Structure 1
Amino acid sequence: MIIDIPDTTASKVAKGLVKIREEGGQVALGRVLNLVVIARPEEIESSIQAANAASSEHPCRVIVVSDSGPSESTALDAQIRVGGDAGASEVIVLKAASEVVRHTDTLVMPLLLPDAPIVAWWPSIVPSKPSAEPIGAMAQTRLTDSVNSDSPEANLRTLRDNHVPGDVDLAWTRATVWRGLLATALDQPPFEPVQSVEIEGDSSHPSLDLLGAWLGKALDVRVTITGIPGAQGLTRVLLRRASGDIEFSRPDGKRATLRQPNMPEQHINLPIRSLEECLAEELRRLYPDVFYSEVLIDGLPRVETKP
């Protein structure tokens, strides 16, 4: 069910939501968190789709705030979605002029579930310091997505300079499976040092930088990233060792091949992770990701990118 409420206030929207629950038998008892999404107008629907998919595992109240552009008006247009149009969540969409949206904390305060964690998510806008944003200061977890931003590499380094515990970028989450596979391969004999690491793929994709930073920090080596024209994300990781190299190759973005000395080739299903999967993973952990913090701050200087 979708209900439009034009020219309203956040308090009226909150009362409207209570009335809908009372009349329709909807309850909020199972909601475990507040997910506040700061979205551009063109990404409202894709953000709601990802949140609805993640809500099957994490029932939540989703509040989407979108800037409708400069205006002298302080009018707020809202929409409430419940039932089949909201997955296991309640979705509230707020569209307001830029001046109103600047005060996101005041705007969403009446709509937050009390005593529930707050997660702030910017699907493509990357604030230079998420924790300093009005809603970021309220949130326990702050999710950015430099992959979808206008300047991925520059934004990743800005996030590094202004990082505080609780910040996480979904470029890190997109590399979770790669980290698991590489850790498993290195946990097999012979247990000898890795001399260098080479990574190939879309050089503008920040997941390559973060995976390289993780490997560089964990193995105490320099990491080289080489851009491959037309690549789909991360396509190849090569770990050089004295007894022979470990190589993961995924040229098609779907299936990876593992090659190791004196071992038969292994083929592994490794599709590019969806936004829904990454969002659901981060909503499982409502506490600071210590490993991400260390990799972002200490690991990135070890990465060298070639054109």
Structure 2
Amino acid sequence: MRVDLTDTNASTVSSALLQARLRAGSPTMGMVLTFVVVTDESTHDQAMSDARTVSMEHPSRILGVLRGARRGRPRLDAEVSVGQGASGETVLLRLSGELVDHPVSVVTPLLLPDSPVVVWWPTNAPEDPARDPLGRLALRRIADAAAATRAPTEVLKRRARHYEPGDTDLAWTRLTPWRALLAAGLDQHPVRITGATVEATRANPSADLMAAWLRCRLSVDVDLTVSDGPGITRVALHSRHGDIALDRPDGRLAYFTIPGEADRPVALQRRVTAELLAEELRRLDNDDIYQDAVQVLALSGRGRKRKAPRPPASESSAPPSARVAKQTDTRGRSKKASSS
């Protein structure tokens, strides 16, 4: 059921939640966390839809914080829903006037007691999430540098300088299957890696994080090269025995190359935001590997990006091993301290 409240306050919203649960026949709360979504008019529909999808796996009280215009008198409007496509409760809070600068005063009374708080900024997250007023309430703070409206890779790097335990970015979450496959390749073929190449679209935060992770874990130079996409199209670990590589030219199917073995097709579909959020909420403790990667990113300068050579049309759909012999290696090596 849904209740619309106009020109209201946090106490009335809390009472409306209780009444909505009683009317829906669910007087007890089976929710495991409070999920705060900080959004605006242009993005709140999709953001709240993603949050409701995630709540099917992680029953939550979803608090959408929609900041409106600062002009006019302070005002709070709210939409309270129980059910309505979510496994928990959903509250969309529209703040206007002076209240826009004081969202904590509205959100705090609505937090679930004795439960973790997660804050997600779907688009333009603060540069220092841990010191944001809403971020201070959270055990986990989720940003998405790829959704930044300007210079996403620079946004990621600035945020990396302010990293605090509990911060994470969906640009990192997108790398989970890539990292798992590359680690599996090294397990199967344990060789000394002498360098690496990451090919991706220009200004791709996930590519920067991949390069930082490889530098951190393998202590090698990483060449970050611009391709036509979509997203990351190739990651190669170089050794004197050959490359351990993942090629994904179409954003769906990748070819996994290991020296001495036939190329293997593997599913590597680009995941939707709801899937990424669900993965992040499965563990709320600090991600030490991500922390290491962003520290490398924060300490390094930007590396030189170059255009990746495009294979002829007749070769573009062939497995990587069929193309490697025909390609001239034009990939240089960036400085040891360069950023991805």
TM bin (shorter chain): over 0.9
| TM-score, normalised via structure 2 length | 0.86
Post-superposition CA distance 1:127-154 (Å, at most 9, x none) = 0110111111111111111110122111
1:249·1:257 contact (CA, 8 Å) conserved in 2?
yes
Distance 1:163 1:28 in 2: 37
- Post-superposition offset of 1:70: 2.2
Distance 2:262 2:272 in 1: 30
The aligned counterpart of 1:219 is: 218
Superposition pairs of residues 102-117 of structure 1, within 5 angstroms:
102-117=101-116
Superposition pairs of residues 74-113 of structure 1, within 5 angstroms:
74-83=74-83, 85-97=84-96, 99-113=98-112
Note closer, same or farther for the CA distance 1:226–1:34 as it changes in structure 2 (3 Å cut).
Answer: same
2:3·2:16 contact (CA, 8 Å) conserved in 1?
no
Distance 1:50 1:72 in 2: 31
Aligned-partner residue type, residue 117 of structure 2 = I
- Post-superposition offset of 1:156: 0.5
Distance 2:38 2:28 in 1: 22
Which stretch shows the higher mean deviation, 102-111 or 250-259?
A: 102-111
- Post-superposition offset of 1:99: 2.7
Distance 1:31 1:17 in 2: 13
1:238 to 231, 236, 239: 236
Note closer, same or farther for the CA distance 1:219–1:79 as it changes in structure 2 (3 Å cut).
Answer: same
Percent identity between the two aligned chains: 37
- Secondary structure at 2:233's aligned position in 1? strand
The aligned counterpart of 1:143 is: 142
- Post-superposition offset of 1:75: 1.2
The aligned counterpart of 1:61 is: 61
Can you give the 5+ residue segments of structure 1 that lack an aligned partner in the other structure? Answer: none
Post-superposition CA distance 1:219-261 (Å, at most 9, x none) = 10111111123x1111101111001111210000000001222
- Secondary structure at 1:252's aligned position in 2? coil
Distance 2:87 2:19 in 1: 19
Task: Say which one has the larger Rg.
Answer: 2
| TM-score, normalised via structure 1 length | 0.95
Distance 2:302 2:71 in 1: 44
- Secondary structure at 2:78's aligned position in 1? strand
The aligned counterpart of 2:315 is: none
The aligned counterpart of 1:124 is: 123
Can you give the 5+ residue segments of structure 2 that lack an aligned partner in the other structure? Answer: 307-340
- Post-superposition offset of 1:194: 0.9
Aligned-partner residue type, residue 223 of structure 1 = V
Aligned-partner residue type, residue 236 of structure 1 = R
Note closer, same or farther for the CA distance 1:241–1:108 as it changes in structure 2 (3 Å cut).
Answer: same
Note closer, same or farther for the CA distance 1:305–1:170 as it changes in structure 2 (3 Å cut).
Answer: farther
- Post-superposition offset of 1:2: 2.6
Post-superposition CA distance 1:75-131 (Å, at most 9, x none) = 111101211x24112110001115312212111111111111000111111201101
- Secondary structure at 1:7's aligned position in 2? coil
Aligned-partner residue type, residue 178 of structure 1 = W
Note closer, same or farther for the CA distance 1:108–1:69 as it changes in structure 2 (3 Å cut).
Answer: same
> How many aligned residue pairs are there?
304
Distance 2:40 2:16 in 1: 25
Cα RMSD of the aligned pairs, angstroms, is 1.4
Post-superposition CA distance 1:143-200 (Å, at most 9, x none) = 11111012211111111111111100110001111000000001113x2211111111
Distance 1:72 1:145 in 2: 31
Distance 1:21 1:200 in 2: 50
